[in-house]
């Protein structure tokens, strides 16, 4: 969905991800600790880990090893 942000800063390593079929906080808690992989258009894989639940609608916060580019917003990721 978007980067994790504060009023004046944007954290490129932290992404907020909306999972399809996950509509509540309870289902999102089951995903905490799982691995997340984003594949760039060039085929490069950037890995991360789901760290926490974000809000009450089933979104989660993932922390990646390296910062993700802006083209990753709105694209799909693999959750393993």
What pLDDT is recorded for position 78? Answer: 92
Query: Would residue 49 be called left, alpha or beta, if left means φ above 0 and alpha means ψ between -120 and 50 degrees?
Result: beta
Domain boundaries, the chain: 2-79
pLDDT of the residue at 1: 78
The model's pTM is 0.85
Phi, psi of 52 (to 5 degrees): -160, 170
Averaged pLDDT for residues 14-25: 89
CB 1 within 8 A of CB 31: no
Q: What is the CATH number of domain 2-79?
A: 2.40.10.190
DSSP state of 65: S
- What pLDDT, on a 0 to 100 scale, did the predictor assign at position 50? 95
With contact defined as beta carbons under 8 Å apart, do 2 and 18 qualify? Answer: no
Amino acid 44: pLDDT:
92
* pLDDT score for 39: 94
pLDDT in tens, 30-79: 999 999 999 999 999 999 999 999 989 889 999 999 889 989 988 999 99
């Amino acid at each position: 969905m978007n980067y994790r942000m504060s009023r004046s800063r944007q954290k490129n390593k932290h992404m907020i991800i909306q999972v399809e079929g996950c509509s509540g906080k309870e289902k999102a808690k089951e995903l905490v600790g799982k691995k997340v992989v984003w594949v760039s258009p060039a085929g490069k894989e950037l890995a991360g880990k789901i760290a926490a639940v974000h809000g009450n609608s089933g979104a989660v916060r993932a922390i990646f090893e390296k910062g993700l580019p802006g083209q990753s917003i709105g694209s799909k990721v693999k959750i393993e």
